[in-house]
Amino acid sequence: MKSPDGKHIAELICEGEIKFGPAFYSLKIDDSKINGRIFGHKIKWSDDSRYMATEEWLTTDYQKGPITRVALIDLKLKKLSEFKTIEKGFAEDFNFEGACLIYKKHFYDKGIIKEVEVEIASIDNWKKI
pLDDT at 62: 82
pLDDT at 37: 97
User: How many CA within 13 A on the CB side of residue 92?
Assistant: 12
Instruction: Over range 64-87, report the average pLDDT.
Output: 96
Share of the chain above pLDDT 70, in %: 100
pLDDT at 19: 80
Tell me how long the chain is: 129
The 10s digit of each residue's pLDDT in 17-28 is 988 788 999 999
What is the model's pTM? 0.94
pLDDT at 92: 96
- 63 versus 79: the higher-pLDDT residue is 79
The 10s digit of each residue's pLDDT in 86-114 is 999 999 999 999 999 999 999 998 999 99
The domain limits of the chain are 10-128
